Amino acid sequence: MYLLKKHPLFDADLEEAACWYGARNPAVAMRLIDEAAVAVRVVLSDPLRFSIWEGEVRRVHLRRFPYLVFYEFRDNTIYLTAFAHGARDLVALLEERRVNP
């Protein structure tokens, strides 16, 4: 079993994306939330499944949305650092949210 910690803005990232979709179609917003939850469950079940992308950061692409879940895995702890659209400046975003062990 792994310890899960979230960056304080992780849930806000997801909420912002869901609100954007929800304003257009609430059912699509729910699918985004569900798909993000699946991605997090996959990370929790096997945090080493995804290769290191930048520094110590790993990423999971959502299947039907242009979003990614970013996380770091250290000392049996999974740190969810960001939920972000793939078109963002991801390197800058992750630099702002770097995990300090």
The pLDDT tens digits for 57-82 are 999 999 999 999 999 999 999 999 99
pTM of the model: 0.92
Give 3-state DSSP helix, strand, coil % of the chain, rounded to 5: 40, 30, 30
Place of tokens 């242009």: 66
* Domains along the sequence of the chain with CATH: 3-96 (3.30.2310.20)
The pLDDT tens digits for 78-95 are 999 999 999 999 989 998
